[in-house]
Structure 1
Amino acid sequence: MQEILIGLVVALDVVALYLLLPTVKQRFLLSLWTALLHMLFPIIGFTIGSMMVALLMQWSNVISSIILFFIGLHLILSTQNRQINPIPVSILAISASLDTFSVSVSFGMLNLQKYLFIASAGIWTFFLSYISLTIARKGQRKYKGNSLKWIAGISLMLFSIYALVNN
Structure 2
Amino acid sequence: MQEILTGLIVALDVVALYLLLPDVKQRFILSAWTAILHMVFPIIGFSLGTWMLNILLQWSNLISSILLFAIGLQLILSSKNRQTITIPLAILALTASLDTFSVSISFGMLNLQKYLFIVSAGLWTFVLSYISLYVAKSSLKIKGDPLKWLAGIALIAISIYTFIQSIDYP
Are the aligned partners of 1:31 and 1:125 in contact in 2 as well (CA < 8 Å)? yes
2:80 is aligned with 1:80: yes
2:137 is aligned with 1:146: no
Measured in 2, the distance between the counterparts of 1:20 and 1:56 equals: 40
2:56 is aligned with 1:92: no
Measured in 2, the distance between the counterparts of 1:161 and 1:134 equals: 35
State the SS of the aligned residue for 1:49.
helix
**Residues 124-154 of structure 1, C-alpha deviation per residue, up to 9 Å, x if partnerless?**
000000000000011322x221000000000
> Which runs of 5 or more residues in structure 2 are unaligned?
none
- Code of the residue aligned with 2:154 in structure 1: it is S
> Which runs of 5 or more residues in structure 1 are unaligned?
none
- Code of the residue aligned with 1:149 in structure 2: it is K
Measured in 1, the distance between the counterparts of 2:123 and 2:92 equals: 18
**Residues 88-110 of structure 1, C-alpha deviation per residue, up to 9 Å, x if partnerless?**
00000000000000000000001
Measured in 2, the distance between the counterparts of 1:127 and 1:120 equals: 11
Poorly superposed stretches of 4+, deviation over 6 Å = none
State the SS of the aligned residue for 1:86.
coil
Are the aligned partners of 1:76 and 1:150 in contact in 2 as well (CA < 8 Å)? yes
With the length of structure 1 as denominator, give the TM-score of the two structures.
0.98
Are the aligned partners of 1:11 and 1:121 in contact in 2 as well (CA < 8 Å)? yes
Partner of 1:113: 113
- Code of the residue aligned with 1:60 in structure 2: it is S
Correspondences of 1:34-113 after superposition (within 5 Å): 34-113=34-113
Are the aligned partners of 1:22 and 1:139 in contact in 2 as well (CA < 8 Å)? no
How many Å apart are 1:164 and its aligned residue? Answer: 1.4
**Residues 56-109 of structure 1, C-alpha deviation per residue, up to 9 Å, x if partnerless?**
001000000000001000000000132120110000000000000000000000
Measured in 2, the distance between the counterparts of 1:147 and 1:62 equals: 28
With the length of structure 2 as denominator, give the TM-score of the two structures.
0.96
2:150 is aligned with 1:155: no
Partner of 1:132: 132
State the SS of the aligned residue for 2:140.
coil
Partner of 1:27: 27
Aligned residues: 166
- Code of the residue aligned with 1:12 in structure 2: it is L
Measured in 2, the distance between the counterparts of 1:136 and 1:82 equals: 15
